[in-house]
Amino acid sequence: MEKPRSAPPAPLKAVLFDAYGTLFDVYSVALLAEQLFPGRGQALSVMWRDKQIEYTQLVTTSNGGAHYRPFWELTRAALTYALKRLVPDARADWASGGFDAKVEQLMNQYRHLSAFPENREVLQALKAQGIVTGILSNGDPAMLAVAVKSAGLGDLLDHVISVDTIHKYKTHPDAYALGLQATGLAARQIAFVSCNSWDALAATWFGYQTLWVNRNQLPFEELGTQPVYSGASLRDVLALPGLAPQPLGGAAA
């Protein structure tokens, strides 16, 4: 794990994780997509994800959030767009319902995304130290509840925080502020962990001690700010300097 280039930060009392892309593999839908649309599965999974994130930013920044829609609806809209772009018959067959069953299959797969295998190990280790754990996600509460239950992580998370309560998606600062409200801690006392570089950057700007998990060895965003820490695996969370064990059963003030 890369160390920060400045003085050591404050002791950490909580770790919050992004959900989609960090704990749950958003590209695990590619296998089913390939079965349903041979030769286009990987491209479909990538465009679906890119358009999903684009839609969250669009509805957050336009007209004061008047066009907000829950993450599940944006996920379906993004899938519809990606199919119409990548599958030649999609536009013609859409009106007749020719793709309805396949869309439902893919949406159900998204509801039960594969969890990264190290999730439970990392969360168990944090809980053993008395560190407060949680998810801070764009996902709406119903989506997150299913994903957490499917992955068997419910007993290891103190908080599952959805931006749906404020109708503003990340990277809006109000979305990141939900972590402070839930834990009662200052941003400098919380590690925010994300595999999405845009998310790690915005969380760094907000003031979290960030860990960007760069599984695919990609360059970071070129906007003059680096994450506080970078790593290649979720296990790098356990090597964060400043983890401050707390009494089991709740966050410290």
- Residues 47/54, Cβ–Cβ less than 8 Å: no
In DSSP terms, which residues pair with 190 in a beta bridge?
14
**Would you state the structure tokens that stand for residue 14, as one six-digit string?**
């909580």
Segment (H or E) for 86: helix 71-86
Task: State CA 35 to chain mean position distance.
Answer: 26
Segment (H or E) for 213: strand 209-213
Of residues 187, 185, 135, the one with CA closest to residue 157: 135
Count of beta carbons in the 10 Å neighbourhood of residue 8: 9
Task: State CA 241 to chain mean position distance.
Answer: 23
**Would you state the structure tokens that stand for residue 227, as one six-digit string?**
């994450």
Q: Which residues touch 168 (CB under 8 Å, ≥6 apart)?
A: 60, 65, 68, 174, 175
- Residues 199/221, Cβ–Cβ less than 8 Å: no
Question: Annotated catalytic sites, by residue?
Answer: 18
| CA 137/CA 217 separation, integer angstroms | 23
